[in-house]
Chains A and B, each alone.
Chain A
Amino acid sequence: MKRRDFLESLAIGGLGLLVAPRALWAEDGEGGSALFAVPTNTGITGSVVVLGGGMAGTTLAKYLRLWGGTGVSVTLVEKEATYTSNIMSNKVLTGQLTLPDLVYRYDVLANHYGVSLVRGEVVGIDTGARRLSLADGSSIAWDRLVVAPGLEFDLMPGMSSASQYDTLVPHAWKAGPQTQLLRNQLLALAGGTRTGDVVMTIPKAPYRCPPGPYERACVVADWLRRNSVPGKLIVLDANPDIIVEKANFAAAFAGGSGFTVDYRPGSTVTRIDPDTRTVEYTDATGAHSIAAGVLNPIPPQRAPKLLADAGLYDPAAGERSAPVSVLSYESTRVPGVHVVGDASSTTQPKAGHIGNQQGKTCADAILRALQGKAPDPAPVTNSACFTPITATTATWLSAVYQYSPETGKMAVPSFHNGGTPIAATGPSAGNYEDMLVWFETLMSDTFG
């Protein structure tokens, strides 16, 4: 029996039972989406290898099959058995969700959509031989490759090893064990086994999820207040000001939602000591130092080194992610290799909702290329970030990006709020409800 036969018999025969991954227990039955058939004869044939099953890579793999049909074989190489969503992970810090609530599986992708899964960590991309090498010594050849591995994290000045993030000063900017560690450290503060303020640092933009750090500041400060935890939340932002949704976050920081945040813009971290949780920084007034109770440095981020080694971006030229054509997400450096999601360098935010749309845009372009056609000349993408402010309220930020033939870039068009994103008029409980529906639907458009 060939493997493909096996997978198909699974889905058809199986026990007639599909387990849909769902993170949230939606009482009202809203949210989510249905399963759709993989068409049998679109006339398109080809094969695509996808590196990384996150928000962008998983969407891309699903839509290549859904739109391309059974003639397009798709292999997804992913190092983890399951995906843990970064989106909503700030709610793990406040105990409203647990990490297992944020786990998504690849079952539907494999069993229903017929994507071949390879579990393994890619350690090399040989663009000459067109082969991926895996940590276990095996390799996978590709005709067309899509790279969607997300981001890696720099060491903060003063740190000696990335393992210090895992044990002492979690960044928790990738949901997982560090998220739990940060939660435990906050609980230690509440329990009195640690004392001091919570200090969070924000790197210079661009970083993953522009509103994310401000969201974290709000929900953690709200939690500190609700639980009467001694100590305040100090935010050291390397940016000169709040970079998105300024009105909403500034109002919340100033006490508009019941808590306050000590927000210090224009603060450049010069050194951290993970053992003593001391952070040194400079701002317009000079050099300062804080010994924190809990230290949460959000480090600068870049596409994995693997991509630089493959020539997909050039660190020597100051690049931190891979330049692509936003018509097809094909690398401008290596033909036949596409980069989607956070690892690509575009004018769009590094976020999951838009990573999903980049995956669809890239899938469409690849399917056209397999038919000898040019990509859609006028792609549109959109970003939506719902942001919890307290345990019961949220805001949102929405933007649509259109392709500009003049600049070759994606841009918010002038007819969309004068070329800028649109924010909610303020935090509300209705937005919070909508946030849960949005999250479940986004995740089921991606993993379901």
Chain B
Amino acid sequence: MTKLDRLATFATLLFSLAAIPATVGHATASTTLSRSIVLLSGDGASMTIPSAGGPLGLTNSNPAAVSAAVSGTTLSVTALAPGKAAIVVKEGRKTRAKLKVTVKAPMTVAPTTLAVPVAESAQARISNAFGPVVATSADTAVATVYLDGESVVVRGRAAGATTVTVRDSRTTVSVAVTVSAPGGGSGGGGGGTVSGTTEGRLLASNCFQCHGTYGSGGFDRISGKSETELIEELNEFLAGGEDPGGIMAAHLQGYTAAQLQAIARYLSHP
């Protein structure tokens, strides 16, 4: 088998696993299948429940978000509205499967108009992206674009107007971009200018093990707050006013004030 063949086989295997959650894991009648899936409204998914042949019953913690039904040994779910639902399938008193369904809203981008001077950058925030996101500029002579974390960063190249298209696997959003001549203006304002560099990123990634990639969750979401608000919260921990003796306060002991400032600046627009 050549390396390429092997890669292809592996990819096919992944495909079937990703598409049919039923085959995920090595469930036998003695184990409980625990799975999490993310769906967009309207999506459906199904999985086979390991059972010893008895009748299966289910509970659904959030019928408004997800509808669920079991037929034979197949559990089918349909995503109805954004939210989370826990589906538990039981055979008699034995729990056979637990499925955590997160129904996401479609991707949004805000703001959808940006004004940026030549040689500077402006950014719009992407929320609820589903699958890989691609951003393209209709006229790269006027503005170029790249993705950094949850932001689409637009850099002005020459005065003019163009459209930036942001697309995930389901949704396409257009952002109208106006690039003004260089030199004037106070900077700030509008969509907020960003350096477009990686300043503070590696430092801030120390927070991701506990607050999720790009500060997106975990104990608390910490991205997207203003730099001032974040610094205030961090100082509160350092002063012993917030969860004294907790791991967050302990963790912050290890940074210099300048490092915390760089982290807060980065996290305000990751």
Residues of A within 8 A of B (CB): 3, 6-8, 10-23, 25-27, 29-42, 63, 66-67, 69, 98, 100-101, 103, 105-107, 110-112, 114, 116-120, 136, 138-140, 353, 356-357, 360-361, 364, 376, 379-382, 384, 396, 398-402, 412-413, 415-417, 422, 424-425, 434, 437-438, 441-442, 444-445, 448
Distance between Cα atoms of A338 and B162 in the complex (Å): 43
User: Could you name 24 residue pairs across A and B whose Cβ atoms are closer than 8 Å?
Assistant: A3-B4, A11-B169, A15-B45, A16-B39, A16-B43, A17-B37, A18-B131, A19-B35, A20-B37, A26-B100, A33-B214, A36-B129, A39-B135, A117-B10, A140-B3, A357-B205, A360-B205, A380-B202, A380-B259, A382-B206, A437-B218, A441-B211, A444-B213, A445-B209
**A25 contacts B98, CB within 8 Å?**
yes
Partner of B201, one of A67, A98, A424: A67
Q: Would you call B213 and A14 a contact (CB within 8 A)?
A: no
Q: Is the interface of B mostly helix, strand, loop or mixed?
A: mixed
B186 contacts A by Cβ under 8 Å: no
* Nearest Cβ on chain A to B30's Cβ, whole angstroms: 10
Stretch at the interface among B18-26, B66-74, B113-121, B187-195: B18-26
Residues of B within 8 A of A136 (CB): 1, 6
Question: In the complex the two chains form, what is the Cα distance from A448 to B168 in whole Å?
Answer: 18
Encode B50-91 as 1/0 by CB contact (under 8 A) with A.
Answer: 000000000000000000000000000000000010100000
B34 within 8 A of A: yes
Residue in A21, A30, A380, A400 whose beta carbon sits within 8 Å of that of B219 in the complex: A30
Alpha-carbon separation in the docked complex, A140 to B2 (Å): 11
Known contacts A16-B170, A39-B146, A402-B254: A10-B15 contact under CB 8 Å: yes
- Say yes or no: A376 contacts B212, CB within 8 Å: no
Given A25-B100, A33-B208, A364-B202, 9 more A-B residue pairs with CB atoms under 8 Å apart are A11-B132, A16-B39, A100-B25, A357-B209, A382-B209, A396-B247, A400-B206, A437-B218, A445-B208
Let me know if B247 and A118 touch, CB within 8 A.
no
The 4 closest A-B pairs by CB, nearest first: A400-B254, A33-B212, A37-B133, A441-B218
A444 near B212 with CB under 8 A, answer: yes
Cβ B130 vs Cβ A16 within 8 A: yes
Q: Once the chains bind, are B206 and A357 in contact (CB under 8 Å)?
A: yes
Residues of B within 8 A of A438 (CB): 209-210, 218-219
Q: Which of B7, B45, B132 contacts A116 (CB 8 A)?
A: B7
Of A7, A17, A382, the residue contacting B45 (CB under 8 A) is A17
Q: Chain A residue with minimal CB distance to B104?
A: A34
Q: Is B250 located at the chain interface by the 8 A CB criterion?
A: yes
Residues on B with C-beta less than 8 A from A437 are 218-219
Which one of B147-155, B172-180, B228-236 is at the A interface? Answer: B147-155
**B254 and A382 contact, CB distance less than 8 A:** yes
State how many angstroms separate the Cβ of A375 from the closest Cβ of chain B: 10
Per the bound structure, the CA–CA distance linking A390 and B2 in Å amounts to: 50
Contacts of B168 in A (CB 8 A): 37
Give bound CA distance, A33 to B214, whole Å.
8
Let me know if B217 is at the binding interface, CB within 8 A.
yes
Inter-chain contacts of B206 with A (CB < 8 A): 357, 380-382, 400
- Across the interface, do A382 and B218 meet the contact criterion of CB distance under 8 Å? no
Q: Are A66 and B131 neighbours in the complex by a CB distance under 8 Å?
A: no
Q: State whether A34 and B212 are in contact (beta carbons under 8 Å apart), knowing that A19-B18, A425-B245 are contacts in the complex.
A: yes
Q: Which residues of chain B are within 8 angstroms of A140 by Cβ–Cβ distance?
A: 3
Does the CB pair B253–A416 fall under 8 Å? yes
From B2, B36, B209, contact of A19 by CB (8 A) = B36
What chain B residues lie within 8 Å of A400 (beta carbons)?
206, 251, 253-255
Residues from chain A with Cβ under 8 Å of B250 in the complex: 398, 417, 422
B2–A138 touching, CB < 8 Å: yes
